[in-house]
């Protein structure tokens, strides 16, 4: 397989997963507004620019705070929703992710099932016609729910029609690498909020619940932790569960499995491929060594920061190994 094809396949997986993550995160945080009204009133005694609002959290979790502040300045509801969802000048917006995924599918139309092009193209054409005012007039919950349906349709088709060959495994590698990094960004966002607003663990209930809902894990969590919510229990579930599909542990397991399934003829590539597997193995070992004291939502969440950096390094190693250039742009 040519390097440019591997790159396109990898980013198809990443961009579709990123679009779904954006929809999940924005939807959950947007609909926390009613639950947070009382808390916001309590915090309103400080200067407005010091208040770490839910809009800050959304932008922080998407990893694009500096870019947002350069383009928009103040954090307002409409500006944040436009920037993260429909702003075509934002390369990390939801519409940009779908556009990038569609472009990569188009370059490989001769090598991929036609259903993947039909779905990604229809998804993009539907989304690009949406306007901020229209999104606000309609139910944002229904809008982001439709986004999740589109991404689920694409992923379901790829699962059901693609042969289990290198093309499939590259898409899945991108998907699970993106999923793991996104899960860590959501947790990191909660840590930043705790740091800014000075919570104790007992005060963090709605925010911890939002972490679970952002990964669609609330019901599954309550099955395994019937005694109730706690900082340690939630982080243990989201980071270490071996059965929940959006946990970090599960993402690393699947990434390792798909990497091992990639067949390479070139000896030099096999050497670099083994290097990636060792890096994934180190990350899984780091998770296995997590102590209970590491599972805290605060500004000193060293294990989460370390794992997030490891995922970013893994993406760079993957790009250097398989792609035309040393680094692929996100």
45 to each of 33, 40, 54, 308, how far by Cα in Å?
19, 9, 17, 34
Q: Is 228 left (phi over 0), alpha (psi -120 to 50) or beta?
A: left
Distance CA 186, CA 315 (A): 18
pLDDT of residue 187: 83
Whether pLDDT at 318 is above 60: yes
- Whole-number pLDDT of residue 297: 61
- Token pair 């599954």 in the structure block, residue: 220
pLDDT of residue 57: 76
- Which tens digits make up the pLDDT trace of 271-304? 888 989 999 999 999 898 887 777 766 555 778 8
pLDDT at 12 over 80: yes
Listed in sequence order, the DSSP H helices in the chain are: 3-30, 33-43, 54-61, 65-71, 77-85, 94-107, 114-128, 132-137, 140-161, 166-197, 205-214, 218-224, 231-240, 248-261, 267-288, 302-322
End-to-end CA gap in the chain: 22
What sign does the CA torsion over 142, 203, 194, 288 have? Answer: negative
pLDDT at 132: 82
Q: How confident is the model at residue 63 (pLDDT cuts 50, 70, 90)?
A: low
Which is nearest to 262 in space by CA: 177, 173, 323? 173
Q: What is the mean pLDDT of the chain?
A: 84
pLDDT of residue 49: 45
H helices of 138-266, in order, are: 140-161, 166-197, 205-214, 218-224, 231-240, 248-261
Q: Which residues contact 201 (CB under 8 A, 6 or more apart)?
A: 230, 231, 296, 297
| 208: confidence class by pLDDT, cuts 50, 70, 90 | confident
Residue 255 phi/psi, 5-degree rounding, is: -60, -45
Sign of CA dihedral 22, 196, 313, 288: negative
Place of tokens 């591997």: 6
pLDDT digits (tens, 9 = 90+) for 102-129: 999 999 999 999 999 999 999 999 999 9
């Amino acid at each position: 397989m040519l390097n440019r094809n591997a790159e396109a396949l990898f980013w198809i997986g990443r961009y579709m997963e990123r679009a779904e993550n954006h929809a999940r995160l924005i939807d959950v945080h947007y609909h926390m507004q009613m639950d947070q009204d009382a808390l916001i009133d309590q915090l309103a005694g400080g200067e407005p620019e010091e208040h770490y609002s839910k809009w800050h959290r959304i932008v922080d979790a998407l990893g694009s705070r500096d870019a947002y502040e350069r383009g928009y300045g103040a954090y307002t509801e409409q500006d944040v929703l436009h920037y993260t969802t429909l702003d075509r000048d934002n390369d990390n917006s939801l519409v940009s992710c779908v556009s990038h995924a569609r472009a990569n599918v188009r370059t490989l139309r001769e090598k991929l099932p036609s259903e993947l092009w039909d779905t990604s193209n229809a998804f993009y054409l539907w989304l690009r016609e949406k306007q901020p005012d229209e999104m606000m007039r309609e139910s944002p919950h229904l809008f982001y729910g439709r986004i999740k349906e589109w991404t689920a349709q694409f992923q379901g088709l790829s699962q059901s029609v693609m042969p289990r060959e290198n093309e499939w495994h590259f898409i899945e590698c991108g998907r699970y690498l993106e999923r793991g990094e996104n899960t860590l960004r959501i947790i990191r966002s909660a840590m930043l909020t705790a740091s800014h607003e000075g919570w104790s663990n007992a005060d963090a209930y709605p925010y911890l619940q939002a972490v679970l809902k952002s990964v669609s894990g609330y019901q599954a969590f309550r099955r395994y932790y019937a005694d109730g919510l706690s900082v340690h229990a939630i982080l243990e579930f989201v980071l270490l569960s071996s059965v929940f599909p959006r946990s970090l542990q599960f993402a690393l397991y699947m990434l390792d499995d798909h990497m091992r399934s990639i067949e390479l003829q070139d000896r030099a590539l096999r050497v670099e491929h083994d290097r990636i597997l060792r890096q994934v193995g180190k990350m899984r070992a780091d998770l296995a060594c997590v102590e209970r004291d590491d599972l805290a939502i605060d500004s000193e969440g060293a294990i989460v920061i370390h794992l997030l950096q490891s995922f970013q390094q893994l993406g760079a190693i993957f790009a250097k190994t398989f792609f035309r250039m040393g680094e692929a742009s996100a």
